[in-house]
């Protein structure tokens, strides 16, 4: 039996008809047409599908859409702001440090960094390089070797 769920996606309220077994990743990509969230392993291993739910990074491939009811979901599309499509500081850092190659992991990586950064800021934690690596252990990248990604994250905390 389908159920109507209401949630906010990138600040806009939406409504979707979902079966209990629908996964959030499918509702985001197919229901709402937001294809920035990537399906990789679909088993919680790679992090390509990472989105924020009420500010916390989660794997949208292991999240039931019904449980998004009433929540605030943020996807990579939601990080762009303003009429001139300004990048979020996380996205800008990834560009500045050349931390993107094929790009498949990038949206999930950026969402993971965004969630990690915001959590650290609100807990007033200045993470070291090891802690940054640990914060991103749920995101696999086959191209970059991670160094530039971690450099990019470090730069965010240096500016802060």
Task: Provide the binding-site residues for another protein, judged by CB under 8 A.
Answer: 1, 19-21, 23, 43-45, 47, 50, 56-59, 62-64, 66-67, 112, 115-116, 123, 134-139
Among 17, 30, 45, 96, which residue interacts with ligand FAD (rule: CB under 6 A)? 45
Minimum CB separation of residue 6 from ligand FES in Å reads 24
Q: How far apart are CA 44 and CA 138, in angstroms?
A: 8
Of 95 and 160, the one with the shorter C-beta distance to ligand FES is 95
Q: Is the dihedral of CA 18, 24, 30, 33 positive or negative?
A: positive
Give Rg (Cα) of the chain. Answer: 16
From 100, 105, 113, 94, select the one nearest 152 (Cα to Cα).
94
- The minimum distance between CB 150 and another protein, in angstroms, equals 13
- Residue 8 CB contacts under 8 Å (≥ 6 apart), including other chains: 14, 71, 72, 73
Cβ proximity to another protein, 7 vs 63, nearer residue: 63
Stretch that binds ligand FAD, among 12-20, 27-35, 37-45, 81-89 (CB under 6 A): 37-45
Residue of 67, 103, 126, 160 interacting with ligand FES (CB under 6 A): 103
Name the segment binding ligand FAD (CB under 6 A); options: 41-49, 73-81, 100-108, 118-126: 41-49
Verify binding: residue 90, ligand FES, rule CB under 6 A: no
Structure tokens at 39: 């399906």
Which residue blocks in the chain are alpha helix, DSSP H? 24-26, 89-96, 106-122, 129-135, 147-159
Token pair for 41: 């392993």
Residues that bind ligand FAD (CB under 6 A): 43-45
């Amino acid at each position: 039996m389908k159920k109507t769920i209401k949630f906010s996606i990138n600040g806009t309220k939406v409504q979707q008809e979902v079966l209990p077994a629908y996964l959030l990743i499918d509702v985001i990509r197919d229901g709402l047409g937001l294809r920035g969230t990537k399906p990789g392993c679909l088993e919680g291993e790679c992090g390509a599908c990472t989105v924020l739910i009420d500010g916390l990074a989660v794997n949208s491939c292991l999240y039931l859409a019904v449980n998004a009811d009433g929540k605030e979901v943020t996807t990579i599309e939601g990080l762009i702001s303003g009429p001139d499509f300004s990048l979020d500081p996380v996205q800008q850092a990834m560009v500045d440090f050349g931390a993107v190659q094929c790009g498949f992991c990038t949206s999930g990586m950026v969402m993971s960094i965004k969630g990690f950064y915001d959590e650290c800021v609100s807990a007033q934690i200045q993470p070291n390089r090891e802690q940054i690596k640990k914060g991103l252990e749920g995101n696999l990248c086959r191209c970059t070797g991670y160094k530039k990604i971690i450099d990019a994250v470090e730069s965010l905390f240096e500016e802060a």
